[in-house]
């Protein structure tokens, strides 16, 4: 039996175990940087396989290595994220979240379970490859500043530095069994914009005695969109969205202040920096010109993600070997963000998508929704697929 066939056989043989791991994780979700029980569970599973993890990396993350023959020859890194979201689950399934208001609505339970399966497979075939596979079980992907930055800070990409890193993410727009790739620019940077517009409140029937922060805020929101339409190149994907505005006045009360919150997305670091400066300057200037004041707080988020073309081509070829050319597709860019981008700033990185949609089973909900779920048939493929990618990279 070839090594490829053995990996496929093991992935299928372990699939029920991996699905059970995923269901346990789904039922016991934990928020970003609070993955205390999750990381203990992952460490316990690795030790059961005979793999001793390094805990406390990135605070609530861990690193584990599978060493083949001649382990110093080359190292490749694989990554899974472990945190959940502050969402109340609406699914009526046996593995429904037991933690009120917390849900694995982005598939991180599947990522973690899948990488545990990959570890099990690679550990079993460790006498059949040369080099080392380093697995990063990462906290806090859903919340600034991003757990990846903490993993890097704590040396997860050092001693020795891997030749590259591979990450996967569930994709509910792609049918289970399909794998998606994108070379080059793929995901956006994500910064949080908080504006406090300060005026002078009073009676709604006497606006001349007030400085109306609602009117000022309205002008700011409309004007800032001109930064996107008039300053950004039409060839450069970029988005500015304000999703929250609160004033706490009434029909006849002008409030003292208005708070606005939004997100800025870009796919170029030079433009990102320039645009954020323009947002700050324009918001402050408009408020001042209308007699008020605007305090601008920008929370810098993840950088944009660029998939290393050479690495992506290689793992795409490995995927074609594993699932067949007909099941490998090219996917479009997205203005969604991922802290996996931090790794791409240090070493060659590639982030691919694994299909989890099944319309016949009614599994169609998008990520970050209360009804999100995956077709678990994807977990029959994903552990072996990532193992095979790693093995091909070690060649």
Catalytic residues: 302, 376
In the sheet with 61-67, reading across from the earlier edge strand, the strands are: 54-57, 61-67, 132-138, 75-81, 165-175, 349-357, 179-181, 328-330
> How close are the terminal C-alpha atoms of the chain, in Å?
19
Please, are residues 167 and 349 in contact by the beta-carbon 8 Å criterion? yes
Bridge partners for 297 per DSSP: 194
* Beta-sheet strands, E only, within 204-292: 238-246, 253-254, 257-266
Give the residue among 138, 129, 134 at the shortest CA–CA distance from 159: 134
CA–CA gap between residue 256 and residue 212 (Å, rounded): 8
| Helices and strands, counts by H and E, the chain | 10, 16
Torsion angle, alpha carbons of 150, 152, 156, 159, to 10: -140
User: Which helix (H) or strand (E) element contains residue 297?
Assistant: strand 293-299
Instruction: Tell me the helix, strand and coil percentages in the chain, rounded to 5.
Output: 40, 30, 35
DSSP-derived secondary structure for 186-204? EE-EEEEEEEEEE-B-EET
Residue 141, judged by CB atoms within 10 A of its CB (0-12, 13-18, 19+), counts as buried
CA atoms within 13 A on the CB side of 136: 32
Please, are residues 102 and 82 in contact by the beta-carbon 8 Å criterion? no
Handedness of CA 306, 308, 312, 315 (dihedral sign): negative
Residue 28's CB is within 10 A of a number of other CB atoms, namely 18
Give residue for tokens 């793929």: 186
Residue 91, judged by CB atoms within 10 A of its CB (0-12, 13-18, 19+), counts as middle
State the pairing for strand pair 349-357/165-175. parallel
């Amino acid at each position: 039996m070839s090594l490829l066939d053995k990996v496929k056989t093991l992935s299928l043989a372990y699939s029920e175990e991996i699905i059970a791991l995923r269901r346990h994780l789904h039922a016991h979700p934990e928020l970003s940087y609070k993955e205390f029980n999750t990381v203990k569970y992952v460490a316990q599973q690795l030790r059961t396989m005979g793999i001793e993890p390094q805990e406390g990396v990135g605070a609530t993350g861990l690193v584990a290595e599978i060493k083949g023959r001649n382990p110093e020859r080359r190292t490749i890194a694989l990554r899974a994220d472990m945190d959940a979201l502050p969402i109340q689950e609406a699914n009526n399934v046996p593995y429904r979240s037991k933690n009120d208001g917390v849900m694995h609505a982005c598939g991180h339970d599947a990522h973690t379970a899948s990488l545990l399966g990959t570890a099990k497979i690679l550990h079993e075939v460790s006498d059949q490859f040369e080099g080392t596979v380093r697995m990063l079980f990462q906290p806090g992907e859903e919340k600034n500043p991003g757990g990846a930055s903490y993993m890097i800070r704590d040396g997860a990409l050092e001693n020795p530095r891997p030749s590259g890193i591979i990450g996967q993410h569930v994709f509910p727009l792609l049918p289970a069994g399909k794998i998606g790739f994108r070379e080059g620019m793929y995901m956006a940077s994500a910064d949080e914009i908080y504006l406090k517009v300060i005026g002078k409140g009073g009676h709604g029937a006497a606006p001349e005695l007030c400085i109306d922060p609602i009117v000022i805020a309205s002008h700011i929101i409309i004007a800032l969109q001109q930064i996107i339409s008039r300053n950004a190149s039409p060839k450069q994907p970029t988005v500015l969205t304000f999703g929250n505005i609160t004033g706490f006045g009434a029909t006849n009360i002008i409030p003292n202040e208005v708070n606005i919150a939004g997100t800025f997305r870009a796919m170029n670091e030079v433009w990102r920096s320039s645009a954020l400066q323009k947002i700050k300057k324009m918001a402050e200037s408009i408020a001042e010109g209308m007699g008020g004041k605007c305090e601008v707080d920008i929370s810098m988020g993840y950088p944009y993600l660029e998939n290393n073309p050479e690495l992506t081509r290689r793992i795409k070829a490995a995927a074609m070997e594993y699932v067949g050319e007909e099941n490998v597709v090219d996917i479009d860019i997205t203005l969604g963000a991922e802290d996996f981008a931090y790794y791409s700033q240090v070493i060659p990185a590639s982030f691919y998508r694994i299909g989890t949609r099944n319309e016949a089973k009614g599994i169609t909900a998008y990520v970050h929704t209360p009804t999100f779920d995956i077709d678990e048939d994807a977990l029959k493929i994903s552990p072996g697929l990532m193992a095979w990618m790693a093995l091909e990279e070690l060649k």
